[in-house]
Structure 1
């Protein structure tokens, strides 16, 4: 009874500031996490030149994608156990420490270490924003998600522009720490975090197994870009398999552990994960390939590319707002339609006659798919997951999303030497296409 009263108080606190205001706060808390990969990619040539780093500079992006996904899952579980307010406090400290480390790093090794810490803190901001979104009052959630989706679209569409401005006018170091902008939103989000944690102990072994499994998987899919030897690739593959088996056994033995059994065995969760993986995979592939094609093939400057992608934010805001007002079935159809349009545009853009504006259109549609996915999947899973598991469930869900994004960019990078960048764009159109197909799959209500 007490927990119900606390949860109602939490919902009333969120509504008291207004749904639009709460959405802006939470979107600003999550949004800068997008800059960690897409904006930072713009600065890599400057990083390599300043630190005299060769191909190893790719680790600056790899460790960030890795730690961001893991941080999201770990802090999602901590938000359930300790409460969002405590998770925000710890995450803010980690994010600030990583930011300072990146500014002070004298060489590539220390810079990579700083980026790892930075991304873990950024993952905390992401998981806390999602936990607060999921805890919003059911009646206010559609309005909240509509504005939140628009804010996320603005951050995603403006990533290249933000990276270009920071690198050109300030420093590549500033570009690499743009996720720290989330710290500005923390004081405004703390009043929304009123629900107490469950105080359940954290399953450290489960967390370690998941961390090692995901770390190895990300290294495995990035092995070609990182030029890893065949023996190392085989060893990493073995670690992935062993950790997967160990994690499966751990979940069975600890049903309420780091990966809750009801979440791991929920078909609706895995369908949502597959949709997000496809959408993020397409978006990250486009954000990797499109700026390079527009710059190298068509001679566009970085700032011009950034401005050209801004209309994608408008498209994403309009689409996500529309999705928030629709029922589950209709919103899924909208998501499927936008994802299918993204796949078609990517396939056309990847052909020789696509042209720069088709490429911009494909990227804009990928941004719109991202925004709609945030609204539709977050809304569905918020209603599907019980309150004690929402932080963990949303954290694990977004872990799969970020891993999917890493796979998308890795596939595009691996195919580029063989097919060229345009060919890699056409090939990675399969990601949003898969998302479109899965989005039309009927979702059964969760078992009570």
Structure 2
């Protein structure tokens, strides 16, 4: 039987609930190469900020704005680039994301000014966030989705060590530019990417601006809770009113009114909060209850995160034959048990708690992303994927802030 072309696959808009969308058969490792490097931007600078500060002639707190800018970029870029993909088409969106990453890396590598470095990190984040959403949208099966989500978790677990090694061997600039690796994935994927776009609806620029304002305020809630909280509340009200007046706009009403979609987003946010919270709390607990050095604690944290990320591929793949509901139930139990285990003073139990949270979050991202996609019409799946990933990534921002009072 002749294999359908990418465009003929994309033309099927039946969007049958419970079925994965017809997509080109893109090799899963290429999707992982396109998505995984995002995690370098999140965790890669963790051990090199002091060198960044020295290199730019500034304080470490000022250099930390490179990390904050990346966090803002992935939060804003995830829904923004997914929405643009719906209107531009996947192929053009891939090129736009690759261009942002390339320009961002050029700023990081070539302009020795703090403001340019921060801008470069933000541009890399916008591009890699878009590529991650596109990779999930093109996955097409639980097994492939598992490869994508596992790549994010595995790269995230090893990113601090890799960033440190690259800093020692080359420079801190190269450490900050590691997300540019995802451009290699674009070069591999673009020939399979469908070029179709949604020509039936005009781009909702006002809706995109309101959502960007909301996400920006939410990202800064942990840092400036009073001001950012008020701004987020106002932006949320404005967005709700805009969505009601323009239901087919940037945030489709047909997506946010789907209970299955909202449940998937809520569970992903909760699992991410637990995982990223424990990534902050467990090292603090190990410092309190053991006589381990910082280096030993750092190395000890790698294996539970790698274990959780690697195992997530099998878990997400198993959600196909087993069904999502039993798999999600197990993941929720693991996520709920993890913080209880973290109350123990035993180093072994603390590491088991981190492994449990890592499995739940990394696997949950893949399994629940499929649920979020299947809950909506095929035409709305790019927007649904972007909004889902936004909820998951917000867990990375809120988790450490929630865990901080309990870790002291």
What TM bracket, shorter-length normalisation?
Answer: 0.7 to 0.9
- What residue is the counterpart of 1:298 in the other structure? 292
- Calculate the TM-score normalised by the size of structure 1: 0.79
Distance 2:282 2:42 in 1: 14
Q: 1:383 pairs with 364, 368, 374, which one?
A: 374
Distance 2:12 2:192 in 1: 10
Structure 2: 5+ residue runs without aligned partners?
1-5, 14-20
Deviation at 1:28, TM superposition (A): 1.9
Q: What CA RMSD, in Å, does the superposition of the two structures yield over aligned residues?
A: 2.8
Task: Label 1:292 to 1:85 Cα distance change in 2 as closer, same or farther (>3 A).
Answer: farther
Q: 1:315 pairs with 300, 311, 315, which one?
A: 311
Distance 1:130 1:197 in 2: 17
Task: Label 1:163 to 1:403 Cα distance change in 2 as closer, same or farther (>3 A).
Answer: same
In terms of mean alpha carbon deviation, does 287-296 or 22-31 score higher?
287-296
Task: Label 1:149 to 1:93 Cα distance change in 2 as closer, same or farther (>3 A).
Answer: closer
- What residue is the counterpart of 1:14 in the other structure? 24
**Residue 234 of structure 2 is aligned to residue 242 of structure 1:** yes
CA contact (8 A) 1:38 1:284 kept: no
Deviation at 1:57, TM superposition (A): 3.0
In terms of mean alpha carbon deviation, does 123-132 or 158-167 score higher?
158-167
Distance 1:123 1:201 in 2: 23
- What residue is the counterpart of 1:103 in the other structure? 109
Deviation at 1:121, TM superposition (A): 1.1
Deviation at 1:72, TM superposition (A): 1.1
- What residue is the counterpart of 2:17 in the other structure? none
**Residue 350 of structure 2 is aligned to residue 359 of structure 1:** yes
User: 3-state SS of the aligned residue for 2:154?
Assistant: helix
Deviation at 1:255, TM superposition (A): 0.6
- What residue is the counterpart of 1:331 in the other structure? 327
**Residue 220 of structure 2 is aligned to residue 211 of structure 1:** no
Deviation at 1:285, TM superposition (A): 2.3
Matches within 5 A, 1:386-405: 386-405=377-396
Deviation at 1:82, TM superposition (A): 1.2
Distance 2:216 2:353 in 1: 30
Distance 1:12 1:257 in 2: 24
- What residue is the counterpart of 1:89 in the other structure? 95
Task: Label 1:331 to 1:394 Cα distance change in 2 as closer, same or farther (>3 A).
Answer: same
- What residue is the counterpart of 1:252 in the other structure? 244
Task: Label 1:165 to 1:325 Cα distance change in 2 as closer, same or farther (>3 A).
Answer: farther
**Residue 342 of structure 2 is aligned to residue 342 of structure 1:** no
CA contact (8 A) 2:43 2:159 kept: yes
- What residue is the counterpart of 1:123 in the other structure? 129
Deviation at 1:412, TM superposition (A): 3.4
CA contact (8 A) 1:206 1:258 kept: yes
Task: Label 1:291 to 1:185 Cα distance change in 2 as closer, same or farther (>3 A).
Answer: farther
Matches within 5 A, 1:185-196: 185-194=185-194, 196=196
CA contact (8 A) 1:153 1:368 kept: no
- What residue is the counterpart of 1:198 in the other structure? 198
Deviation at 1:195, TM superposition (A): 5.1
Distance 2:188 2:110 in 1: 29
- Calculate the TM-score normalised by the size of structure 2: 0.86
CA contact (8 A) 1:282 1:366 kept: yes
Distance 1:300 1:204 in 2: 47
Deviation at 1:33, TM superposition (A): 1.0
CA contact (8 A) 2:261 2:376 kept: no
- What residue is the counterpart of 1:66 in the other structure? 72
Q: 2:363 pairs with 369, 372, 396, which one?
A: 372
Deviation at 1:336, TM superposition (A): 1.7
Distance 1:43 1:271 in 2: 38
The number of residues matched between the two structures is 391
In terms of mean alpha carbon deviation, does 156-165 or 78-87 score higher?
156-165
**Residues 276-302 of structure 1, C-alpha deviations (whole Å, 9 max, x = no match):** 111222222233444566689621427
CA contact (8 A) 2:9 2:24 kept: no
